[in-house]
């Protein structure tokens, strides 16, 4: 998904992007969680800044498309022309009901998935394990606050892109292999940013992808090294040996990811839909 986003903004070949991201992720992961943490802190500021500006530009673009001006007018036009996109609770006659089956999404599954991801996922919890209790709690609460911004900096631009696409914009930019790829909506909108801010947003997006990959690689390495290698394969392994094994696992994990990712079809059905089906 990260490679697709970067490809949409820069035009760099997706496969080449995957190779570069994997290499960058390996170097950052080998630097440890502190490096990953600093990368996260720096990139999140520019991502939020770029996201807010993208939302501003997208709403204004919608307003301009219909001969109006202003953010509120753009939002009102989106509510008018894409009203169904603002509803989370779908009725049975909705064609997307099979993917979001009404209240059962919230009552029967969404909260379980979220508790599992945010509370039990090594990739997430490892970021808090190295801090004292007060700092860890503060970090988690701050991250939760940032999550509340997602509808503004991600959902609204996405709906704006849909409305603009329906009006004839982005017809070619949204295509991949002759088919519309909804994962390209946000990267396409990032291209609307002014040159300097676009560069910062692009750098932040790349850093976010690399930091995410690094966090996952670090989790894979930790789980394999301590739960499998240290317990089952070589219980007498020294700390130095364990570190070496962990580094090897990071490299192997990235190589496997590069090989497997193109075969999974994530780019064809959309990243979010893919995650929904397999988690």
Per-residue three-class SS string for 154-182:
HHHHHHHHHHHHHCCCCCCCCEECCEECH
Asked if pLDDT for residue 150 goes beyond 90, the answer is no
pLDDT digits (tens, 9 = 90+) for 113-123: 778 777 777 77
Domain borders along the chain are 2-278
Between vectors from CA 87 to CA 119 and to CA 188, what angle results, nearest 5°? Answer: 80
Whether pLDDT at 63 is above 80: yes
Stretch 214-224: mean pLDDT: 87
CB-side exposure of 11: number of CA atoms within 13 Å? 2
Instruction: Determine the CATH number of domain 2-278.
Output: 1.20.1730.10
Q: At 268, is the pLDDT very low, low, confident or very high (cuts 50, 70, 90)?
A: low
Q: How many angstroms separate the CA atoms of 52 and 135, rounded? A: 27
Q: Tokens 């291209």 sit at which residue?
A: 191
Q: Is 249 within 8 Å of 220 (Cβ atoms)?
A: yes
Residue range 179-206: average pLDDT?
A: 77
Confidence grade of residue 191 (pLDDT, cut at 50, 70, 90): confident
pLDDT band at 266 (very low <50, low <70, confident <90, very high): low
> Smallest Cα–Cα separation from 208: which of 194, 187, 224, 188?
187
Percent of the chain at pLDDT > 90 equals 11
Give the span between the Cα atoms of 48 and 201, in whole angstroms: 9
* Cβ 2 vs Cβ 183: under 8 Å: no
pLDDT at residue 37, as a whole number: 76
> Helix, strand, or coil here: 192?
coil
Taking residue 156's Cβ as centre, other Cβ atoms within 10 Å add up to 23
| Residue (of 241, 244, 240, 264) closest to 252 by Cα position | 244
Instruction: Judge whether residue 274 has pLDDT over 70.
Output: no
**Alpha carbon distance 22, 213 (integer Å):** 8
- Average model confidence (pLDDT) across the chain: 81
């Amino acid at each position: 998904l990260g490679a697709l986003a970067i490809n949409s903004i820069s035009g760099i070949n997706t496969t080449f992007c995957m190779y570069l991201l994997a290499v960058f992720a390996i170097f950052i992961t080998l630097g440890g969680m502190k490096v990953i943490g600093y990368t996260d802190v720096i990139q999140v500021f520019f991502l939020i800044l770029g996201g807010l500006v993208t939302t501003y530009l997208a709403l204004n673009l919608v307003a301009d498309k219909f001969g109006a001006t202003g953010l509120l007018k753009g939002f009102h036009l989106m509510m008018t022309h894409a009203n169904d996109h603002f509803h989370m609770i779908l009725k049975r006659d909705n064609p997307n009901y099979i993917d979001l089956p009404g209240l059962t999404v919230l009552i029967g599954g969404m909260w379980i998935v979220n508790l599992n991801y945010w509370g039990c996922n090594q990739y997430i919890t490892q970021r808090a394990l190295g801090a004292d209790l007060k700092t860890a709690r503060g970090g988690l609460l701050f991250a939760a606050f940032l999550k509340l911004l997602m509808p503004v900096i991600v959902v609204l631009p996405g709906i704006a892109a849909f409305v603009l696409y329906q009006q004839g914009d982005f017809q070619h930019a949204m295509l991949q292999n002759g088919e519309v790829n909804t994962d390209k909506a946000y990267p396409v909108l990032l291209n609307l940013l002014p040159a300097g801010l676009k560069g910062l947003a692009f750098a932040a997006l790349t850093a976010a992808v690399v930091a995410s990959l690094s966090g996952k690689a670090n989790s894979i390495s930790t789980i394999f090294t301590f739960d499998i290698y240290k317990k089952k394969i070589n219980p007498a392994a020294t700390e130095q040996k364990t570190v070496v094994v962990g580094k090897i696992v990071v490299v192997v994990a990235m190589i496997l990811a590069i090989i497997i990712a193109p075969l999974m079809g994530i780019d064809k059905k959309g990243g979010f839909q893919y995650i929904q089906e397999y988690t």
